[in-house]
Structure 1
């Protein structure tokens, strides 16, 4: 096999992996549609950015204050793929990341998890993601994954810390606090998040 032939084969395999990622994303959309999720915000329009955290528009539009958390998911899943699929193409590792993110997006929008968010966190008015927002969350994860693939580890870690600190400062919530409050809610953290 020639060098050009080997590169062509790798390129074709990469396209197959990427097509599989799109297929997984399509399954996410279909499952959420079958779950009764709304395609877009109930308000009837689409915004590029929803800056109000405790509003009916949160988790309904293209991006919001939780988008950085999904970018960080991509950083984490890139590292996981590097550990578990060492030697596999980047596109195969992206498929693993997409499978994990899609599974979370589906579980996150089940009544059980929605009710958990409403009872254990400050997200009292949370009623799940629109299909648009959930799809964009998965694409934000993919962007984070690809950013991590290009940046040195130290820069990726620094960027993750910056995103966590910035969103924590701006909205009193971030990925770490979100996971903590979902898994092991603390009254002191909930009070701080509520500004009490």
Structure 2
């Protein structure tokens, strides 16, 4: 009997169920958004990799924009939370759970009530909801953040989150933290500061 036969074999965790669940959740996300009247791509008829003008009608319509960084931070947060509450659950299963949370938020974010709530904010007065392309890419961005949090030391992940929040906040006067604050309560000083962005 060889040494390899004596050692217990590690249980192999298949990635297929998690991948199937993630694809199914994203398909549900896209289908529900379509049923809610969301357009597949920007009404402008073009697809762009990046939109940098915070006042552009194509914000939240294209592949990536300034809010992509917020969704990457979502991934950091979801990884940390799910690691705390269920560290023994396979990481791919936790990723599928995170996709479910993100997909649910993306659907909620495009309901008339949330769209109207966003429109009350200084930087979202022309907000009409996301295109399906943008919404799906927001979920992909969350998965990117989740994967980075899994691969990187936690201190690096925290540093990245801070850099993203501070840099985006400085450049366009908005980030995940401000978005949440403004959604909960409108602060006149923040609104005035955000309205001054060019």
Question: What's the counterpart of residue 102 of structure 1?
Answer: 103
5 Å-filtered alignment, 1:13-162, equals: 14-162=15-163
Q: Deviations over 1:134-172 (max 9, x none)?
A: 000000000000000000010000000000011001100
Q: Distance in 1 between matches of 2:182 and 2:189?
A: 11
Q: Deviations over 1:35-89 (max 9, x none)?
A: 0000000000100001111111000000000000000000000011101222010
Q: Distance in 2 between matches of 1:188 and 1:104?
A: 28
What's the Cα RMSD here? Answer: 1.4
User: Structure 2: any 5+ residue segments left out of the alignment?
Assistant: none
Greater C-alpha radius of gyration: 2
The alignment partner of 2:124 has SS state of coil
Stretches of 4+ aligned residues off by more than 6 angstroms? none
Q: CA offset at residue 121 of structure 1?
A: 3.8
Q: Contact 2:61/2:134 (CA < 8 Å) preserved in 1?
A: yes
So what's the TM-score if we normalise by structure 2? Answer: 0.93
So what's the TM-score if we normalise by structure 1? Answer: 0.94
Aligned counterpart for 2:9 among listed residues 3, 8, 26: 3
Q: Distance in 2 between matches of 1:83 and 1:25?
A: 25
Q: Distance in 2 between matches of 1:121 and 1:92?
A: 38
Question: How many residue pairs align between the two structures?
Answer: 191
